[in-house]
Amino acid sequence: MRVADLKKRLQEAEGQVVAAGKTYVEAAESATLHDLDVEDFELTRVGTSEMVTVYSGRMAGKRSPGRVVYDALILAAKDGCCPLCGQRTVSTLDHHLPKSLYPALAVNPLNLVPACSDCNKLKLDVVPSSAEDQTLHPYFDDVEGQAWLRARVVATSPAALQFFVDTASDMDEILARRVRAHFKKLKLSFLYGSQAAQELSNIRFRLLDIHASGGALGGQQVQQHLAAEAKSRCKANVNSWQTAMYAALASSSWFCDGGFDA
């Protein structure tokens, strides 16, 4: 820091920042981030705008001294894929709790999630008002133990898919509501439907070949092929839109019997 006064005040705020980080982790682990009081995350000696500038100028800036931490967090995303939507490429860091409202968490790595720009914008700087209003936190929420993303085939010309959340009865009710809120807030139904439309176009001629070569059993052959595709994708990610898509296609008699060529 070249500005001696700001440097001094930041050093004096270290204790508050560390304490705020511990409180944040405890709340994230117990899914009670909505209970945090915004005022408890304001710093006595450093203003909110100053902390925002510390992040943008001293951490996110391409030549800033904290950029090595920023880049490490970006690269932590599996396969470079946004963990919030599971589809688009990571291009930025999202403050799970907005830095403009929780300045003590502005540079806390556990509050910084690699994300695509679209998800980052859709989340907005909003304080969760209830437990079910909290979007999923990739570092603290494990929702991959059971399937919750589903799809249904729409018998139109061309065929289409609608994606929706269908949680298991044994999933914690609050977590199930959070999954649905996350899905809605990030507009994942539209995103996955768009991606599925492209995939349907890409596989059409392959399905035509399988159907034709199967003769009277063409529909059955198509169904077996799609079921195998669903199983393969499920092994990689039980809740990917591809898994949900192929499972839905395999279970649709209309689609397997020629709906793919409608």
Six-digit token string for 172? 């914690």
β-sheet bridge partners, residue 160 = 154
β-sheet bridge partners, residue 165 = 149
**Close Cβ partners of 52 (under 8 Å, ≥ 6 residues apart):** 99, 100, 103, 106
* Across 2-22, average pLDDT: 95
Residue 70 has pLDDT above 90, yes or no: yes
Q: What is the band of 203 on the pLDDT scale with cuts at 50, 70, 90?
A: very high
DSSP-derived secondary structure for 34-76: GG--GGGGS-SSS-HHHHHHHHHHHTSSTTSTTHHHHHHHHHT
Task: Please check whether residue 135 is in contact with residue 181, taking contact to mean a CB–CB distance below 8 angstroms.
Answer: yes
**Closest Cα partner for 161 from 26, 22, 259?**
259
Residue 2 has pLDDT above 90, yes or no: no
What is the value of pTM for the model shown? Answer: 0.91
